[in-house]
């Protein structure tokens, strides 16, 4: 085992060995059992478990093998060591203690005489790998930070280590430690992070004017199919009068409308808001757009002067007894049934329209989903309206495009004109333009995006 220590040129206890005196005393000195600490190194032919330091009481390989199960390589090495002490291999001097432990311990150095059994020790060194303590990283001096392939901050303290710092590589000297800053999720060794967003949405004000803020509708672009209960919950959370859910279906678009409480068959301002999103937010090409809805296929397009127009199904108006409304709106001149779910009540003038005393609970009992109060004239328009829909969860709607399905035929029957402009006298206010066709009413207006985002539902 003397060669094992000689290969690394130092005594493991830190005291220089008087190698010449030990050689002169010969193996008898060892066999006497003097408690000399010798390093038994790991890696001897792959055998692990020997203590790093143990007193050598005897160098009889057969006796050692009888006590411990040694491999053939270990027995051969011990035999060479015993032979060296018996004089079979000439040994003149051990290497100097200054030999590098990580290099060639038998390399020529100034003032050093090569060992006579160097060849045997070189062969032996291929079998034995010394136990080298891990580099000391306790001190934080001379540690740099690598950024953009350059080491910065050499000589300063080690940066605080957190989940955003990952050790890239170690060298054998603490001065060459390199750290690379990475995003937190990379520092945590996460394979990937899902950065995909949810359904995109836009808050759009439809039928705006110079002083009118229009009616807000939220347009949600669906990326996947969703259950009706989920759609209703989203509409309830958003809280606007109408939420439009649009989804691409081949060459057309599927469109549904929800109030905070129910799904409705038709909504004009949310349809106009959807057309605005497709044209101005998504940049979808095409002159004519088609929407599959509960009221059939609706179409929309862009006009000049920033106007957008959508085609809605016209309603046929029929006179009915005014007593059906009772006193829910106050005094009215005429009442018309407009389609299956709307009612049109004509009042005297614009001032009367603005001063209506509305009984919301009484309107809830009227057998109609949409109750439209209308009058001729108004500020810079042909007619003015107010719209109530308590059965749909909307006490009074700010601006109602679908009301034009009844107002345009009523106006045409009254004046013979197929076109008209309408102001809705609500708190927000709005301006609409309508044109009557045989089966449809084109409703047009200006729009704007208030904000956009994505839905994390």
Instruction: Report the catalytic residues.
Output: 242
> What is residue 85's three-state secondary structure?
helix
Measured CA distances, 185 to 143, 159, 165, 438, 449 (Å): 24, 19, 11, 62, 35
442 burial level (CB within 10 Å; 0-12, 13-18, 19+) = buried
The DSSP letter of residue 163 is T
Taking the C-alpha atoms of residue 43 and residue 48, their distance in angstroms, rounded to an integer, is: 7
Gap between the Cα atoms of 222 and 292, Å rounded? 15
Q: At 207, which helix (H) or strand (E)?
A: strand 199-208
In 86-154, alpha helices (H)? 118-127
What are 173's two structure tokens?
């000297």
Listing DSSP states for 314-366 in one string gives ---EEEE-GGGGTTSSS--SEEEEETTTEEEEE-S-HHHHHT----HHHHHTS
Label residue 368 exposed, middle or buried (CB < 10 Å: 0-12, 13-18, 19+): buried
- Quote the tokens at residue 425: 């006298």
Angle between helices 118-127 and 72-85 (to 10 degrees): 150
d(CA 405, CA 420): 12
> Which residue is listed with tokens 């199960």?
69
């Amino acid at each position: 085992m003397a060669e094992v220590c000689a290969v690394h040129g130092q005594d493991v206890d830190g005291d220089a060995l008087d190698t010449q005196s030990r050689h002169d005393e010969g193996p008898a000195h060892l066999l006497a059992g003097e408690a000399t600490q010798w390093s038994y190194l790991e890696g001897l032919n792959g055998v692990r478990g020997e203590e790093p330091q143990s007193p050598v009481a005897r160098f009889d390989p057969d006796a050692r093998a009888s006590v411990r199960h040694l491999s053939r390589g270990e027995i051969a090495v011990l035999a060479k060591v015993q032979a060296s002490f018996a004089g079979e291999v000439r040994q003149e001097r051990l290497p100097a203690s200054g030999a590098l432990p990580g290099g060639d311990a038998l390399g020529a150095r100034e003032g050093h005489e090569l060992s006579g059994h160097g060849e045997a020790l070189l062969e032996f060194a291929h079998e034995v790998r010394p136990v080298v303590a891990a580099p000391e990283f306790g001190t934080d001096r001379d540690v740099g930070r690598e950024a953009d392939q350059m080491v910065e901050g050499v000589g300063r303290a080690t940066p605080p280590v957190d989940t955003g710092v990952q050790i890239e590589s170690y060298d054998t000297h603490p001065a060459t430690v390199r750290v690379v800053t990475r995003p937190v999720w990379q520092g945590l060794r996460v394979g990937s992070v899902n950065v995909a967003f949810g359904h995109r949405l836009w808050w759009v004000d439809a039928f705006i004017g110079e002083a009118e803020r229009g009616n807000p509708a939220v347009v949600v672009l669906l990326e996947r199919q969703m259950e009706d209960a989920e759609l209703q919950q989203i509409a309830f959370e958003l809280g606007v009068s109408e939420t439009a859910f649009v989804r691409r279906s081949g060459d057309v678009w599927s469109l549904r409308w929800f109030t905070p409480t129910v799904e409705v068959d038709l909504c004009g301002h949310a349809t106009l808001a959807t057309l605005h999103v497709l044209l101005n937010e998504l940049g979808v090409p095409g002159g004519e757009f088609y929407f599959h809805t509960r009221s059939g296929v609706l179409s929309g397009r862009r006009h000049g002067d920033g106007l957008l127009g959508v085609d809605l199904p016209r309603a046929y108006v029929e006179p009915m007894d005014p007593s059906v409304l009772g006193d829910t709106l106050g005094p009215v001149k005429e009442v018309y049934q407009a389609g299956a779910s709307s009612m049109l009540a004509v009042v005297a003038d614009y001032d009367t329209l603005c001063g209506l005393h509305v009984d919301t609970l009484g309107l809830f009992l009227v057998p109609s989903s949409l109750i439209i109060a209308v009058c001729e004239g108004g500020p810079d328009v042909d007619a003015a309206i107010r719209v109530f829909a308590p059965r749909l969860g909307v006490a009074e709607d700010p601006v109602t495009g679908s009301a034009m399905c009844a107002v345009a035929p009523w106006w045409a029957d009254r004046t013979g004109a197929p076109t008209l402009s309408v102001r809705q006298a609500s708190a927000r206010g709005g301006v609409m333009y309508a044109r009557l066709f045989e089966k449809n009413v084109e409703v047009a207006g200006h729009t704007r995006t208030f904000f956009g985002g994505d839905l994390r539902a």
